[in-house]
Amino acid sequence: MNTIIKHLPRKLLFITRYTFLLAVISLGLVSIIATGGGGSGGSPTYYLDGDGDGYGDPDVFLKQDKQPDEYVTNSADCDDSNAEINPGASDVPDDGVDQNCDGFDLKSWFEDADGDGYGNPDVFLQANAAPDGYVTEGIDCDDTNPGVFPGNTEIANDGIDQDCDGFDLFPWYRDADDDGYGDPYNGVMERPDFGDYVENNKDCDDTDAGAYPGAPEIADDGIDQDCDGFDLKSWFPDADGDGYGDPETVVTSNSAPGGYVANNDDCDDKNAGIYPGACDAPDIFLTVNDIPAAMNGSIPYRDNNDELVDFTLAVPTSDAVWNITVDCPCGCRKEGLQVWSDPPMNENPADLFESDGNDRFIWRVDAANALPQTAALTIYAAITDNCGQESETSSLTVRTIANRPLLAPFDLQDPWLFVYSRDNYTITSGMSSDTTWEVYSEAVPNGISDFIEDLWSLGLGTPTPDPAFEAVTCESGQNGNDCLARMVLEQTREKAYQLFLCGPDGTRGDDGVDIRLWIEGEPGAPDPADFTPQTLNSLDIEKTFSMMGFGGGDLEQYRVGYAERIDYLNLLNEDNTPKDLGVLTTSLVRYAYNFLNDSEALELMAAINLGDILVPVGGTPIGTYAEDVRMIDLSIPPEDLSERFQSRREQMLMLMDKLTDGLSLLTVHEIGHSVGLVPPGHPPYGFFAGETKADFIDDPDGSTEAHIDTAGFNIMQAGPETGYISEDLLKALTGSLFEEDGPVFRFNEMNMAYLQGRLLLLP
């Protein structure tokens, strides 16, 4: 009621009260008339109050003196069937019932501020009749805008709900792929009853749920997933500007960044001359133990009868080393290497090869991946370069044999003792009548080591030393001359180890020959008196030591070295210490003298400043001066010597260096013979000694019954009669025996593989 009163206008309130007062007065007059008031007389009238609300039904009454039960004296009820309807009841608005019998149903009226015929549901009052500015419909959704009311015509897409249906009219777009984005070409103005329509029209492909604005873009698939109008693409840097991109680096964007191209086909993005089509196809060469094609059996060789001969290498089932060399103008990677075999191996052979980082792949066969034993194993290799070009196939067939002592004697270490104490000659030197220097030898022992006498001929020691030099000792050396001899042999041993591909101290490494070199008299060295000939066979798998003698030599023989025998299969211990066996240094000195008697050689000696020591050019031998004791002691720093003896030391070291170049070559040459080099015939029964017409022969004169002259300086080529000493000693004197990648003079690949135990010689 408070709300109603609050909103009733004062005029209307006055009228309502006045009407009610008139009704009460009328009821009083009727009552007076009915009871005979006014002097008319008669019985009073009583009205039925059927609903017991105190108000009678004007249409049902009685006139009698006594008031009946359920009758009242008034007839003001407008519905005597409902006790809640009577003049004293409160009217309930808007229910269609006149509860207070005033002739009206109380109604709610809503303010229509904008005059559009629809009222504000939040501003209303209740009255029997409409106040000014109020209407019966309180359903306006915006009573400040006469253009907004229920039923009005909707203007689409203007942000205003003109018809008060809760929505601004706008297009709805089909979202067939249910990605939340609608098809701009499939829209309606009224939202359909089914739910696959959305408000936006931003889908670029309504058949693909993975294509919509902001979707993750997949590069290079031809699909614009994120609806930006582009398919995301991959771009590759073209650093060398040849139009081909680097496959190792990629960026993605809608358009090409500067310096990038769409392809990743470059083989080398640092070289503008290498790209697909710019390079020749790769070449590949497969072999075992680095043996060249002309000697490995992949092609026949031409023998001394001018006939082509087929042959096959024999390799152990383990310990051999397979080599693949490639020439890839466009570059190659390990991933492009293909290797297979017949019969097939259990695993992919290509996985066993390791790259050396340059142009070679190497497989060192060990027991874990040993080859099957077979009379014919063929391994094939091919490679694809970085530009996709494939090489031809290279192959090699070998015979594989399980190691056993008689076929693989290099499974055991070869111990050798350098013996320099032998005395078979009296050796002197001097100037002849024609003013040339000569060395003389008489086969008569004189109590002096032949090797030490040979060194005297060069100035490395003297038969008439200063007393201080005579008295000096060193480890295992008994006087100055002996110490010099040992210094020469120690340096010879270091170089011999290196020629056997070991470290200077004998460390074997992966490729070195398993050999041990002692010098007579040093700690731990065997005693020559304990030498015992011994045969290596299947029952006897231990070795004693072999011996190599140094010094002396029959000058009539023109030999600088000679081995007791060529021990094919390396079954015996060798004794190369008897007279005229081993390294014959007297003959070596004679060749040096012949060289030094040449005027050009003398000029060379002057140029390299050996004139203070070297006897044949007028030098003063080491040992002549007491100060030579300090000079040969290399633990004394050069600055602690006088200028003269600093120079003598430099000359001594230079002379020793050149001398030990030759001595080490002779030593390993004779050891090579003693352990089985070089057998005649072709593999697997020989290593081509004496062959003169084969493609791999460099100089036919250097290949004799037990020698072979292959490309480069092969340690096992023939000796002085072919110019071995005269030509190559000059090389040693003017250069170095060793370069960064190893010795200048080497065993050829076949001979080295035999010494390493990687190639077998069959009986």
pLDDT of residue 604: 61
Are 584 and 559 a contacting pair, CB within 8 Å? yes
Distance CA 93, CA 110 (A): 13
535-563: buried (b, 16+ CB within 10 Å) or exposed (e) per residue? ebeeeeeebebbbbbbbbbbbeeebbbbb
Angle formed at CA 624 by CA 419 and CA 588, multiple of 5 degrees:
40
Element (H, E) at 166: none
Phi then psi dihedrals of residue 749, to 5 deg: -60, -35
Confirm if 297 and 688 have CB atoms less than 8 A apart. Answer: no
Q: Give the distance, in angstroms, between the CA of residue 552 and the centroid of all CA atoms in the same chain.
A: 59
CA 203-207-209 angle, to 5 degrees, is 70
Work out the burial of residue 585: count CB atoms within 10 Å of its CB; fewer than 13 is exposed, 13-18 middle, 19 or more buried: buried
> Letter for the amino acid at 243?
G
- Cα separation of 519 and 451, whole Å? 13
What residues are paired with 400 via a beta bridge? 315, 374
3-state secondary structure of 610: coil
**pLDDT confidence of residue 511:** 94
Candidates 699, 726, 700, 701; CA nearest to 713 is 699
pLDDT value of residue 192:
78
Report the C-alpha gap between 342 and 400 in whole angstroms: 13
Provide the pLDDT for residue 29.
Answer: 38
- CA–CA separation, 511 vs 494, rounded Å? 16
Question: pLDDT at position 16, please?
Answer: 42
What is the rounded distance in angstroms from the CA atom of residue 694 to the CA atom of residue 303? 6
Burial class (CB in 10 A: 0-12, 13-18, 19+), 640: exposed
CA angle 372, 374, 378 (to 5 degrees): 85
**Pairing mode, if any, of strands 321-327 and 283-288?**
antiparallel
Report mean pLDDT in 10-residue bins for the chain, 763 residues. Answer: 38 41 42 37 86 91 90 91 90 87 89 91 88 90 91 82 80 89 84 81 92 93 91 94 91 92 89 88 97 96 96 96 95 92 90 92 93 95 93 97 81 94 95 85 97 97 97 93 98 97 95 97 96 71 88 90 91 94 94 72 60 85 97 96 95 92 94 96 96 93 90 81 45 62 85 96 92
- CA 326 from chain centre, in angstroms, equals 21
Q: Tokens in use for 173?
A: 């777009």
